[in-house]
Amino acid sequence: MASLKNIKLKILSYKKTGTVTHAMEAVSAVKMRKGQERALSGRAYAAAALSVLERLSSVVDIQNNYLFIAGQGKKSCMVIITSDKGLAGALNSGVIRLAEQEIASRGLTKADLRIVAVGRRASDYFQSRGFNVARSFINISDDISEKDANEISRVLIDFKRTNEIKDAFVVYQNFISTFEQTPTIRQIIPIKQEAMREIVAGIRPARGRYSPQSESDRITPPSAYTFEPEASEVIEVLPQVLLNVAVFHTMLESKASEHSARMVAMKSATDKAKDMAKSYTRTFNKVRQAAITAEVSEITSGMEAMR
């Protein structure tokens, strides 16, 4: 049986660990609320921006834009969004597992795939396994800006314009609720109306503050558009803007999911540390009581022997 000193050290160790994880839980809770607010408040804008494509395609021929056409190349690109930091439960492993399943289901070899890794976890994992990580971005900042998404979108647009890739996908954690995040994959190149309908339908929650309040929220496609400047210039720029909106939204969703998962993980760690401290405290009391009983027995035996 462990000595009283060793048990006491373990109790102190678990209490200190619980203090640290509780502090991390509190920090993650604050960041989670901010991340949720940004992701949820951005959903209405993203839904409206992405729906422009669907509405515009009914009155203008935009299918000849290179972002709407499958490339002639054989390679695919996969944007994989994870975190730079750990201690977030199965957040990163879920995204990586889904990416591996998609690679296997499509029969893609390492030579056929270009990976754009957002977050050190994805970059380290796929580089160590011999995949071609074409670009790697850090994912530490909580204040994700449109500029960050634009850098990623520009890489994809350059790949597609030069026919280096035929299609592109994004894999990320979609924020459902504080206790639920779902690994999700979306095709973003070539842009397809069906895929955009799925994104638009999935962006706004069915219930809650940011859900559509009535049928009036649904925009009816107009019969005609007036373009300023020329329609060709608008059609050239619009797909790039919509692609950037889609990437930006996935990054917001991923960041909100990261803080939610970390808060839940730290809460579980705090509860476990408290349970272990209580368990070792009971063990400490039992060992101490046994030691006291043994000492009393020795004193009593010694007194009896002296009589």
Three-state DSSP class for residue 116: strand
Count of beta carbons in the 10 Å neighbourhood of residue 299: 10
Q: Residue 260 and residue 39: Cα distance in Å, rounded?
A: 12
Position 207 pLDDT exceeds 70: no
**pLDDT tens per residue across span 112-125:** 899 999 999 999 99
Q: Tell me the C-alpha to C-alpha distance, in Å, between residue 117 and each of 65, 95, 124, 125.
A: 26, 12, 9, 10
pLDDT at site 28: 84
Secondary structure in 3-state letters for 186-231: EEEECCCHHHHHHHHHHHCCCCCCCCCCCHHHCCCCCCCCCCCCCH
Regarding beta strands 167-177 and 76-81, do their DSSP bridges make them parallel or antiparallel, or are they unpaired?
parallel
Task: Give the rounded percent of residues in the chain with a pLDDT score beyond 70.
Answer: 83
Question: Which of 116-120, 137-141, 146-150 is the most confident on average?
Answer: 116-120
* 149-172: average pLDDT: 91
User: Binning pLDDT at 50, 70 and 90, where does residue 216 land?
Assistant: very low
Structure tokens at 76: 């695919």
pLDDT at site 215: 46
Predicted structure pTM score: 0.80
Q: Residue 39 and residue 118: Cα distance in Å, rounded?
A: 18
Classify the C-alpha dihedral 136-182-186-58 as positive or negative. Answer: negative
Query: What is the DSSP code (8-state) at residue 106?
Result: T
Helix residue ranges, H only, the chain: 4-56, 91-105, 120-128, 146-161, 193-203, 231-306
Average pLDDT, the chain: 82
Question: Which of 46-50, 214-218, 234-238 is the most confident on average?
Answer: 234-238
Name the helix (H) or strand (E) containing 135: strand 133-137
pLDDT at site 2: 67
User: Binning pLDDT at 50, 70 and 90, where does residue 134 land?
Assistant: very high
Q: Pick from 16, 50, 31, 23: which is nearest to 245 by CA?
A: 50
**pLDDT tens per residue across span 1-52:** 568 888 888 889 999 999 999 998 888 888 878 877 776 776 677 677 666 7
pLDDT at site 213: 56
Q: Residue 225 and residue 201: Cα distance in Å, rounded?
A: 24
* 296 vs 35, higher pLDDT: 296
Residues in Cβ contact with 182 at an 8 Å cutoff, skipping those fewer than 6 apart:
173, 174, 176
pLDDT at site 202: 62
Lowest mean pLDDT among 211-215, 232-236, 263-267, 273-277: 211-215
Task: Give the rounded percent of residues in the chain with a pLDDT score beyond 90.
Answer: 24
Q: Residue 117 and residue 124: Cα distance in Å, rounded?
A: 9
Position 90 pLDDT exceeds 60: yes
CB 243 within 8 A of CB 49: no
As assigned by CATH, the class of the 27-212+231-262 domain is: alpha beta
